[in-house]
Amino acid sequence: MRTSLNLRAIPGFFLQPASFLRQYQWQNFQPDLIAGITVGVVLLPQAIAFSLVAGLPPEMGLHAAVVAAIVGALWGSSDHLHTGPTNSASILILSVLMPIAEPGTPLFIQAAGLLALMIGLFRLVMGLLRLGLLVTFVSDSVIVGFTAGAGVLIIVNALRDLLRISYPRSPGLPETLYNIALNVPETHLLSLAVGVGTLLVIVLMSWINRRLPGPLVAMVGASAAVWAFNLDAVGVQVLGELPGGFPPIALMELPLFDLNLIGELSTGALALATIGLVEATSIARSIGAQSGQRLDSNQEFIGQGVACLASGIFSGYPTSGSFNRSALNFKSGARTPMASVLSGVFVLAVVLLLAPLAAYIPRAALSGTLILVAYRMVDWAEMRRIWSGTRGDALIMVVTLLATLLLPLQFAILVGILMSLASYIQQTSVPQVETVLPDPSFRHFLHQPQQPACPQLGIVDIKGDLYFGATSHVEDTLYQNMQSHPGQRFLLLRMHNVLHCDISGIHALESIVRTYRECGGDVFVSRLHASVLEFMKSTGFYTYLGEDNFLSREDAVSHLFYKVIDPAICIYECPVRAFRECQNLPKRTFDSEIELRTDIPTDGVRNIAPETLWQQLRGASPPLVIDVREPREFRQGHIPQAQLLPLPRFLSQMAELPTDRDLVLVCRGGRRSTRAAALIQSQGYTNVHVVQGGMVAWESAGLLAAVEENEGNMR
């Protein structure tokens, strides 16, 4: 993943609006306009309600709605993602700002604007550094848990205006619930009736037709009731008249150089920036999966960053992607980002023309709307699905939910994100390392621990990357396998699931190879990805292991069976028929009680070159050549004058071997004959040689080979 700043890419990021407008097809304008107005109708009451959740004046929500919807659409990459005030961002903003100032105070409002700038810069830098893929490392369980917790907090905080009770604000849920319980007797019943009535109207309209603008209709109805019956005079609190006009520039009024305030906001800004990006990209990808659009996460980071910056500059507060508005945008037929732009224009037109009417909007009606929206934030079906899934996902969800309810929200989010990263690191640092054997059809290799393993060759699948976090686990597992099967001197590593290898992985492989070679064996590798193979070449591991030890996928086992492992063990000692190549092997046992050593002696056994033996056979005193292979091998070709004495008979007839004549033992590759020679030398024979390279070398030298139908007898 590239994380470096690519200076050449920066102009492209910021020229996204020009590229979009230049390619815009005007036949899309009508469906975009319809979708934009539909979303704008929902955006208007949400902007007011969500700003109240954040403890901010309603006009800040409207400014953020107008600016972020337009800017986020033009600089983002998604056709349908809608940017603006959101539930989760608003409750998080309140949690971050409450320790700094009392909601509604000038410092609280200024800190909200400064927070928007900081979040925008964080997102912008992450986009420029091309960190778009980082959001994939945050578990969906974090989002589900946080969203559920935020929904509960919004409901609890909305009870203040719904019941029209007064108590000191507290960022903690237990304190808030305690204060509500103390003040419930002071509930203003008329306000409660207005709020509950608003909620019921929205629910009823959604049952009739989900496309109906229930929140807007309910809000207009509640406002009309306040105006008609003069309810504000009997205690129903209203918003008051909103200032009209375009969103004013507030940049110079923000405490841009207050380093203490910036320090206090930094943790919350980072949490908001991260969770907002995760939300936005998750929403965009979810809808993109339905629309078929491919997204650019880095460009989306830029879009979210510029939108948040613009919101802070134009008297708004931090924004993010909204799931319900984005889904409505898609379902309403939006074809391009122009629909989101038009939704912002619609809200601006309403603010310019109808701002005075907001004086009659009852706060209890907004609270009823928020309670319903917050309840719908809790995705019960997804929570049950996660709970019935893996323990890790369930734990992350529950911990994030509890942290959201009990801790300051910025820390709750970071706890969830850190748990996601820890879970990811744990999973990638413990890749599956499994011994495998062919299935009954010999077509696939499967982990079959109940099946007996080949005593000479172990085959291991490494199912994960060989990076510094995983090498310890891979090494330990391979060493454990080696200890469990001490006779397996050869190891075949299947590495088709290894997509990345770093220098720590190379060191681990070198250690494994060194250990096997010290025991007289070797390691082989098959099914490597091209990038991993190139890395092995560049680091010298390719040379260290040897070109011949990198095997092709198709003939890896066949090559090892015929060229590497000891056929004498296969025939005389091994009862297992693990591979296809084993099936036609004769399985013999020794009649003799003398045990044939299983290792290949590296010293003490003298070799004779095929050419030298050829000359001696043509001399006056030729040596006695004894072929210890099987009869079928002997019949296919052998050294002239050689006598067949298969290894089982060889062990039982050693005492009959002549002591006054030079003996030369031969087999296919030299392994069986070397072991047999070492055995008779231990019995006192000193005139013994082995054909170097066996019959393979004899045939390669172009020497004459005899072919017979009958077995020879030892003279």
Mark which of 403, 423, 443 sits at the end of a domain. 423
Q: Say how many Å lie between the first and final Cα of the chain, rounded.
A: 73
The amino acid at 78: S
Estimate the share of the chain in helix, then strand, then coil, as percent rounded to the nearest 5.
60, 10, 30
Asked whether residue 598 is assigned to any structural domain, the reply reads no
Residue 151 has pLDDT above 70, yes or no: yes
DSSP, collapsed to helix, strand or coil, labels residue 93 as: helix
The whole-number pLDDT of residue 603 equals 65
Residue 260: C-alpha distances to residues 117, 178, 266 (Å)? 16, 32, 10
Is the per-residue pLDDT at 561 higher than 90? Answer: no
User: What gap in Å lies between CA 66 and CA 86, rounded to an integer?
Assistant: 13
**For the stretch 604-631, what's the b/e string if a residue is b when 16 or more beta carbons lie within 10 angstroms of its beta carbon?**
ebebbebeebeebbeeeebbbbbbbbbe
Whether residue 375 is contained in a domain is answered as yes
pLDDT at 591: 52
pLDDT value of residue 597:
55
Same domain membership, residue 675 and residue 617: yes
Identify the domain containing residue 480 by its residue range. Answer: 432-571
CB atoms within 10 A of CB 385: 12
| Statement: residue 482 has pLDDT above 50 | yes
Q: How many domains does the chain have?
A: 3
- The reply to whether 454 and 394 lie within a common domain is no
28 by Cβ neighbours in 10 Å (0-12 / 13-18 / 19+) ranks as middle
* Whether residue 276 sits in one domain with residue 183: yes
Residue type, 215: P
Q: Quote the CA–CA distance of 371 and 540 in Å, as a whole number.
A: 64
| pLDDT, tens only, 321-361 | 987 788 778 877 889 999 999 999 999 998 888 777 777 88
User: Are residues 300 and 123 in contact, defined by beta-carbon separation less than 8 angstroms?
Assistant: no
CB 694 within 8 A of CB 563: no
pTM exceeds 0.85, yes or no: no
Q: Which of 188-197, 456-465, 467-476, 550-559 has the lowest mean pLDDT?
A: 550-559
**E-strand spans in 289-399?**
320-322
> Given a cut of 70, is residue 8 above it in pLDDT?
no
Pairing relationship of beta strands 445-446 and 437-438 according to DSSP bridges: antiparallel
In a domain? residue 567? yes
**Structure-token pair, residue 165:** 């009770």
* pLDDT category of residue 711 using cuts at 50, 70 and 90: very low
Residue 99 has pLDDT above 50, yes or no: yes
In a domain, 705, yes or no: no
- pLDDT-based confidence at residue 672 (cuts at 50, 70, 90): confident
- Look at residue 516 and tell me if it is in a domain: yes
**Residue 251 belongs to some domain of the structure:** no
Q: Please tell me whether residues 417 and 459 are part of one structural domain.
A: no
**Residues 333 and 271 grouped into a single domain:** yes
* 3-class secondary structure, 583: coil
- Least confidently predicted of 509-513, 539-543, 580-584, 610-614: 580-584
Based on the domain organization, do 468 and 387 belong to the same domain? no
CA quadruple 668, 672, 674, 679: dihedral, nearest 10: -150
Average pLDDT of the chain, as a whole number: 85
- Residue 451, both tokens: 């099946």
85, 13, 37, 27: which is closest to 341 by C-alpha?
37
| Residue position matching structure tokens 């841009």 | 256
Residue among 357, 282, 351 at smallest CA distance from 314: 351
Same-domain pairing of 409 and 441: no
Single out the residue in 423, 448, 466 at which a domain terminates: 423
- 3-state SS assignment for residue 707: coil
Phi, psi of 299 (to 5 degrees): -65, -35
What is the CATH number for 475? 3.30.750.24
Nearest Cα to 451, choosing from 575, 618, 633?
575
154 is a domain residue: yes
Q: Is residue 59 part of a domain?
A: yes
Dihedral over Cα of 276, 277, 279, 284: its sign: positive
* Domain CATH for 691: 3.40.250.10
288 and 380 both lie in a single domain: yes
The reply to whether 303 and 329 lie within a common domain is yes
Give ∠ CA 39-43-49 in degrees, rounded to 5.
155
Phi, psi dihedrals of residue 645, rounded to the nearest 5°: -145, 85
**Residue that is last in its domain, among 526, 550, 571:** 571
Judge if 76 and 183 occupy the same domain: yes
**374 with 492, same domain?**
no
Q: Are residues 272 and 411 in the same domain?
A: yes
